[in-house]
A = this chain, B = another copy of it.
Amino acid sequence: MSKQILIMAGDGIGPEIVAEAIKVLDVAKTRFNLDITTDEALVGGAAYDVHGDPLPEESLDKARAADAILFGAIGGPKWDQIERDKRPERGLLRLRSSLGLFANLRPAILFPQLASASTLKPEVVSGLDILIVRELTGGIYFGQPRGIREENGERVGFNTDVYSESEIRRIGKVAFELAMARGKRLCSVDKANVLEVTELWKEVINELAKDYPEVEVSHMYVDNAAMQLVRAPKQFDVLVTGNLFGDILSDEAAMLTGSIGMLPSASLDQDRKGMYEPCHGSAPDIAGKGMANPLATILSLAMLLRYSLERGDVADAIEAAVEAVLEQGLRTADIFADGCRKVSTAEMGDAVAAAL
Contacts and interface: CB of A to CB of B under 8 A. Distances in A.
Interface in A145-200: 146-148, 151, 154-166, 191, 193-200
Contact of A156 (B162, B228, B247): B162
A88 to B, nearest CB: 9
Given A119-B230, A164-B151, A157 B255 contact: no
Nearest to A233: B119
Contacts of A255: 226-228, 230-231
A161 B197 CA distance: 12
A140 B247 contact: no
Given A249-B226, A251-B223, A196 B157 contact: yes
Interface string A227-251: 1111110000000000011011111
A224 B255 CA distance: 10
A158 B121 CA distance: 40
Given A230-B252, A231-B255, A158 B162 contact: yes
Interface string A81-95: 000100101000100
A222 interface: yes
B140 A195 contact: yes
A148 B196 contact: yes
A25 interface: no
Contacts of A120: 119-121, 230
A71 interface: no
Contacts of A276: none
A258 to B, nearest CB: 8
A165 B155 contact: yes
Given A162-B158, A163-B157, A223 B194 contact: no
B148 A199 contact: yes
Interface of A: 75, 84, 87, 89, 93, 119-121, 124, 140-141, 143, 146-148, 151, 154-166, 191, 193-201, 222-224, 226-232, 244-245, 247-252, 254-256, 258, 260
Given A158-B196, A230-B256, 9 more contacts: A93-B194, A120-B121, A147-B196, A158-B160, A158-B197, A222-B247, A223-B248, A226-B255, A230-B252
7 contacts: A119-B230, A159-B160, A227-B251, A227-B255, A230-B256, A231-B258, A245-B248
